[in-house]
Amino acid sequence: MKKLILAAIFCMFAATTFAQNNGLGLRVGSGAEVQYEHIFSSGNLIKANAGLFDFNGSFFGTCVYDWEVCNWSNWTPNAGNWFLQAGVGGAVGIYNNGKQSDLDLGVAGDVAFGIHFSGAPITLAVDYRPTILLLNDNLGGGFASIGLSCVVHF
C-alpha cells in the first residue's frame, strides 16, 4: 500500500512538473517585484506580485486573476504564442514617507501583452496595472504602473 501511495505522489509530481503550470519571475516598473504565476487549463491565470514600490522602501503586493482575452498562435509560430490578458484582483501597500507609515488596501486591474516563447519555458510581457487604494486614500502613482515582466515556467 505504501508503494502505491508513493507511486501516486510521484506521478502527480511528474505531471505538474511537465505541465509547466507554475512560473516565477521578476516585474520591473515603478518598483521591483517578484512575480508568481499559476496557469489553469483554460489558459487563465493567477498572478501574485510582491516587492518594493517606487524604490523608496515601501512594500506593495497584488494578487490578480487574469483572463486570456486573445491568443495569436499563428502570428509568429516559430517564436511563440502572443497573448493579451486582462484581469482584476486585490492590492495591499505599506507606504513609508520617512515620517509615518500607512497601510493601504484596494483593487488592482491588469492588462498584459506578451509572448510565451516556444523554444524555452519563458514568458515576456508588458503590462499596465492601475490600482485604486481605498483605506488611506493614498494613490501613490497607482494609475502610472507600467511594467515589464519576465517569468520562467516550471
pTM, two decimal places: 0.79
**What are the start-end ranges of the E strands in the chain?**
22-28, 31-39, 45-53, 58-76, 80-96, 101-117, 122-128, 131-133, 146-153
pLDDT confidence band for 6 (50 / 70 / 90): very low
Of 29, 99, 87, residue with least CA distance to 60:
29
Domain residue ranges of the chain, discontinuous segments joined by +: 20-153
pLDDT of 98-148, one tens digit each? 777 778 888 999 999 999 999 899 999 999 999 888 876 554 556 778 999
* Whether residue 74 has pLDDT greater than 50: yes
Class of domain 20-153: mainly beta
pLDDT of 9-66, one tens digit each? 444 444 444 457 999 999 998 788 999 999 998 889 999 999 987 766 778 899 999 9
Please name the residue that has the C-alpha cell 498562435.
73
Alpha-carbon span 51 to 31, nearest angstrom: 7
Report the pLDDT value the prediction gives residue 101, as an integer from 0 to 100.
76
